[in-house]
Structure 1
Amino acid sequence: MPVNIEQSYEVPPKVSVRNERFGGLVYRYDNRALLFLHSRPLVDFLKGLDGSKPLGTALEEFAAGRGLDDGQRRAMENALGQLEGKGIIREL
């Protein structure tokens, strides 16, 4: 499911994101879903996702700051689309 990079997104209050050695855990309190993320950059991006700017802008700035290449940025964008489908991020 493609994510709309021109819209702002946030991690809703019902979702918790936690760093782990392997990447991170995401927990939804409303349905008790637990997801394992095996990408530390993705976890760090989610923890800073506050809806203050369009997703595409936030992702470009994050990728540039971390030195991620275009393929890694696209992989994160694809993962964000999947996370939106699971209710881990939501469009504002």
Structure 2
Amino acid sequence: MAFDPDASWRLSPQVAVRPEPFGALLYHFGTRKLSFLKDRTLVEIVQSLGEQPSARAAVEAAGVAESAQRTYIGAVGALADSHMVVQRGS
């Protein structure tokens, strides 16, 4: 399934978030994959996905400048590809 930034997303229920000074570690208990989020804004976006109507809305709510939104949306898309975030309802 292709990543749609206008769809509703959330952190996978199989993922644990561990805050770190540099950002956060994400650990997926199903795939045993570990992801390093080295950007606190991205951590904020990922943690707010379940509260926002879409990934794009989560990026905007985090106050990301329009010129940088594509980068953050791409990062959320990469997390979707690795099953760290999933569409709501799935």
Match of 2:29 in 1: 29
Residue aligning to 2:76? 80
SS at match of 2:53: strand
| TM superposition score normalised by structure 2 | 0.83
Q: RMSD over aligned Cα, in angstroms?
A: 1.9
Match of 1:45 in 2: 45
Query: Which residue is 2:87 aligned to?
Result: 91
How does the TM-score come out when normalised to structure 1?
0.81
Q: CA deviation at 1:36?
A: 1.0
Mapped contact 1:17–1:43 kept (Cα < 8 A): no
Counterpart CA distance in 1 for 2:68 and 2:16 is 24
Q: 1:35 to 1:13 in 2, by over 3 A?
A: same
* Paired residue total: 88
1:69 aligns with 2:65: yes
| Aligned counterparts of 1:5 and 1:80: Cα–Cα separation in 2 | 8
Would you say the 8 A contact 1:18–1:43 is kept in 2?
no
Q: What are the ranges of 5 or more consecutive residues in structure 1 without an aligned counterpart? A: none
